[in-house]
Amino acid sequence: MTTGPPNAQRTGQIPALWSTPSKNLLRPLLPYEDPPTEAELANHTPRSNSVDWIDDHLKSTCISPTDPSDEQIVALVKQRGYDDALIPLWDMFNHANGRYTNTRQTSVRDAEGVRVYASKEIRAGDEVFASYDRCADCEFVNLVWGTPEIFRDFGFVEPYPHRYHLEERIWFEIVEVDEKDGDKGNDGDGSGFRVLWDDGITWPDVDNYGNPDREGIEFLEREVTKFESALARMSEVPEEERGMVSQYISTVIFDYKLAIAAAERDLELEEEDEDSSDDDEEEDEVEEDEDEVEEGDYVDDDDEYHEEEEEDDDEENENESGRDEL
């Protein structure tokens, strides 16, 4: 990674421009659009749109395969552009969501041009943030993009909230909570974070995957193991890239473990509710049986009705009548 003239953006900021060891480590850890082909898997040379898109799709058609300045131009458009639009000054603002967001904007395709407004009070000296995935032109990007995609396309780990949209029909967001407001996080664990699932209420436009079941939890556990294995190989990554790669991997591990703990608690509560419901049904059945017995009717295994007590009373009455005659 090198620097350019004063005030110029540094080169090599996005994973697609990083070294081969970093790309090899990140391929299975970043979202991709096209899975590796069978030939790539057989030759142990899988490719991924997450880190190979410049090499595989642009160097053979659009840019020079040997001129680094071409790569830098592509990276600038990817990092700073709104699809096909570059907006001086505005496209240099840093990204943030949640409580850090302090602006809103009109569409870049607006007839009057893009306009930016403060969404909250901005004091002198405060940094002004833009959202890269919750903007007027983002459409449904905010539903399918998250922390891994921000890292893949911009080369940094975003501040919280963090969002994950995984292939195993798992969608969740992790937000910071303020204990001063009485929010102690999931189940009061004091972690300082809360895990939000796509429950159809918080995000009504999401596909409503709901809370992960046992299989979903096991999938997340396998993902943690995969990321932990990658973290143990950080010595393979060049020193100038190691800090950012390590931060991304460590962040995902931390977030996934929070999600696993929250999902486990939710699953336990669901199981307790089911057990309680079953117990209530059994009690109701017992009460119904007692009501039937109190009415004087007894049901045997053949569902035949007997009136044993009435028969015994008839016999006693006959005996008493016989004694009276004597």
Single-letter residue type at 266 = D
**Mean pLDDT confidence for 211-221:** 93
Q: Two tokens at 84? A: 């096909």
Q: Two tokens at 174? A: 């992790």
Under the banding of pLDDT at 50, 70 and 90, the label for residue 324 is low
Q: Where are the alpha helices (DSSP H) in 97-199?
A: 141-144, 147-154
**Mean pLDDT confidence for 269-296:** 65
111: DSSP letter = T
Q: Two tokens at 324? A: 């009276």
Query: What pTM value is reported for the model?
Result: 0.77
Sign of the four-CA dihedral 15, 19, 20, 25: negative
DSSP β-ladder status, 129-130 and 94-95: parallel
Q: pLDDT value at position 326? A: 41
58: DSSP letter = I
Residue 193 · residue 174 · CB < 8 Å: yes
How far is residue 300's CA from residue 274's CA, in Å, rounded to a whole number?
A: 31
Q: pLDDT value at position 6? A: 47
Which residues are CB-contacts of 321 (< 8 A; sequence separation ≥ 6)?
A: none
Q: 150-159, 165-174, 240-249: which has the minimum mean pLDDT?
A: 165-174
Percent of the chain with pLDDT over 70: 70
